[in-house]
Structure 1
């Protein structure tokens, strides 16, 4: 054989070998995950078949009991956090270990599908796909957390980590007040070194989430001078509430739309002579006449930003435009902050680097960061700023989340579990060097 051809064979073997550079323990972890596939699928089906729409608090608690029993069987200490003080079902906390790095693992029990939804059951679509409410968002992620821990235990390394699992019951619709709803998450974040979230990200196993945008609400209230419409634009009559509201919205569009990762959206718009705004149910009624200048306007919407600094900048810009009123009008703007941003951070990038390397060594290819515009707010948003590093989007992948077309790619269940378990193992043995450590 020509030397050039022999060199090519040697190079190919070398590359193949380096692509599967798992140590003995990691190989045991991988095989333990594979051996647990049947149990993982059975638990997933059982959990999906229990309706746990956020406001179905009994259903949320029932799914919590299923996972509490599963984590207890895996050697975890579990407890239930009652959600009554914040108007929700509650949270499940499972803990294991007393030495080694402290890692917070985040999932949630609730779904967007109400108790009366037509979409209620786990159903196989084909050999590698199954449909069901919350199958990817995110009961599949909860199963991955459990199966990763069991694989570490099978390899004899679970005790080298301190793990705290929090499965919240209000991720899809946050309980209020936030300080009570988030108390367990915040306490865990202050305890942890690293946080890992098991949402499904953008549904692509070649991606993970290093940054998420915030989710805030705003309300704009505008007042104008009522008069016959024929007199509009007179200096002493002015422009009315409807035109002032339109000016403000378009001013925001011009000022904000070119800022990367910053968006605002008017979701409800009302203007007229009389307005009845039902804030708690985000609806209202309006009376107005074509020949009367609108006296009132109410607009509500959302704001999403990539960092606290960007939120502050947006508020300054929006407030300045609100204050520059047209004649005979006035306006007020208020904000209600919900989910903070999971801001980009060096530690998050470092975690992704290791996670991607593990994926390549397993033969699954590299993993890159999701564009923050494609990653909504999530539980990890309340945590990321309090830990040295955070990574999300490690859950079961699929399509159609938040719709009756939600389908999981079941082939990603063992894949995602192997990646997560080996990442935890490498954190335990000190391979992951974080900024400031």
Structure 2
């Protein structure tokens, strides 16, 4: 049987995807992420996998590893790597409920990347129900901290990837449905300003505002953006009383670069901003980094060529590109393990209150993943 001929009931898929979406799992809420992992572990077990729960660390939730029965169980095979954390805080469902409108379905994390994780499991289940045995054993790894740079599970992902021949990453499809065959480097930074407190009404001139100094630094940092290396500040915390000149301010910055050389220059530029000005100290410390996954690696391109053939049978042309917006594919691709990314569902609005998927892409992507599982050797 051709895996592309497998039948998928879209309405049934949505009904079973719904609990995944309605279990909100923001990265920084370890208990919430663990609740999502409970659901995934149950569904993977029902699908026949041997499931391991891996405890979380560094304040993050735990991970789930599922290995499916196979004559070559334990031998190098295919790793499907995905994350179950989202950027949406608890309560987002009130503003972005799970809702279907024609071929569109909304919900927090539905595109990034619970939809892709779900269709990966659906593909494996459908193959099993059809009595089809993949040439290679299959392992699924769901992790809890990708949205903050994977600080607690990078070594786990790399260890699992090293045991396998191929890595599939069901991150959201590119806007045209294409796959990702390389990713830019990303580095994070923690920023801090230290000033001098004073009463904002009675003694304003005696203070040195850490907030004002940080605001100036943010403009300076973001002005360093070029086509080759971007800089942005996305988090800032400071102040408690409006009548106090704030003596401390914390922020987080991110830089993305197309090459390692560009990243190194960007990191050096950020670190060079440190110093003292007008009585306020500015400090920069390195956070987690995703390495450059160089595109066009032979093993990855061979996987892409196979996926392109499958998509032609499905009726569309699969494109490829190197992309910004890091994923855990950065790590496996950097390791030189053949990796194909953005195999997940089509949609738009990820990381926003309009996050949505194209319902019709559930079956499409499940068939694509099933085809890859059956044809990778």
Give TM-score scaled by structure 2 length. 0.79
Deviations 1:211-248, CA, capped at 9 Å, x for gaps: 24314124365899xxxxxxxxxxxxxxxx99998998
Alignment of 1:19-58 (within 5 A): 25=1, 27=2, 29-32=3-6, 34-58=7-31
Structure 2 residue 295 is matched with structure 1 residue 348: no
1:64 pairs, out of 9, 13, 37, with 37
What is the count of residue pairs matched by the alignment?
360
Give how far 1:149 is off: 1.3
1:199 maps to 171
1:125 maps to 101
1:182 maps to 154
Inter-partner Cα distance in structure 2 for 1:155 and 1:195 = 24
SS of 2:147's equivalent in the other structure is coil
Give how far 1:288 is off: 12
Give how far 1:173 is off: 3.8
Alignment of 1:260-339 (within 5 A): 260=228, 262-267=229-234, 282-284=237-239, 300-319=252-271, 333-339=284-290
2:318 maps to 366
Inter-partner Cα distance in structure 1 for 2:52 and 2:77 = 18
Inter-partner Cα distance in structure 2 for 1:265 and 1:357 = 39
1:248/1:402 Cα in 2 relative to 1: closer, same or farther (>3 Å)?
closer
Q: Which moved more, 1:35-44 or 1:132-141?
A: 35-44
User: Is the contact between residue 52 and residue 59 of structure 1 (CA under 8 Å) also seen in structure 2?
Assistant: yes
Inter-partner Cα distance in structure 1 for 2:153 and 2:238 = 25
2:126 maps to 151
1:82/1:253 Cα in 2 relative to 1: closer, same or farther (>3 Å)?
closer
Higher helix share: 1
1:315/1:55 Cα in 2 relative to 1: closer, same or farther (>3 Å)?
closer
Give how far 1:412 is off: 0.6
Inter-partner Cα distance in structure 1 for 2:91 and 2:274 = 42
Give how far 1:157 is off: 4.1
SS of 1:360's equivalent in the other structure is helix
Inter-partner Cα distance in structure 1 for 2:211 and 2:31 = 44
Structure 2 residue 217 is matched with structure 1 residue 217: no
Inter-partner Cα distance in structure 1 for 2:248 and 2:42 = 55
Inter-partner Cα distance in structure 2 for 1:139 and 1:318 = 34
1:409/1:329 Cα in 2 relative to 1: closer, same or farther (>3 Å)?
closer
Give how far 1:71 is off: 1.8
Give how far 1:259 is off: 4.9
Inter-partner Cα distance in structure 2 for 1:252 and 1:56 = 30
Give how far 1:340 is off: 3.5
1:401/1:250 Cα in 2 relative to 1: closer, same or farther (>3 Å)?
closer
SS of 1:422's equivalent in the other structure is helix
The structure with the largest alpha-carbon Rg is: 1
1:249/1:173 Cα in 2 relative to 1: closer, same or farther (>3 Å)?
closer
Give how far 1:198 is off: 0.8
SS of 2:183's equivalent in the other structure is coil
Give how far 1:39 is off: 4.0
User: Is the contact between residue 92 and residue 168 of structure 1 (CA under 8 Å) also seen in structure 2?
Assistant: yes
Structure 2 residue 354 is matched with structure 1 residue 405: yes
Deviations 1:170-210, CA, capped at 9 Å, x for gaps: 223457xx3x4334212112212221111114444244453
In structure 2, list runs of 5 or more residues that go unmatched: 197-209
Deviations 1:228-277, CA, capped at 9 Å, x for gaps: xxxxxxxxxxxxx99998998788677x54452x11124578xxxxxxxx
1:425 pairs, out of 354, 358, 374, with 374
User: Is the contact between residue 80 and residue 91 of structure 1 (CA under 8 Å) also seen in structure 2?
Assistant: yes
User: Is the contact between residue 194 and residue 281 of structure 2 (CA under 8 Å) also seen in structure 1?
Assistant: yes
User: Is the contact between residue 306 and residue 342 of structure 1 (CA under 8 Å) also seen in structure 2?
Assistant: no
User: Is the contact between residue 348 and residue 356 of structure 2 (CA under 8 Å) also seen in structure 1?
Assistant: yes
SS of 2:182's equivalent in the other structure is coil
Give TM-score scaled by structure 1 length. 0.70
In structure 1, list runs of 5 or more residues that go unmatched: 1-24, 225-240, 270-281, 290-294, 429-437
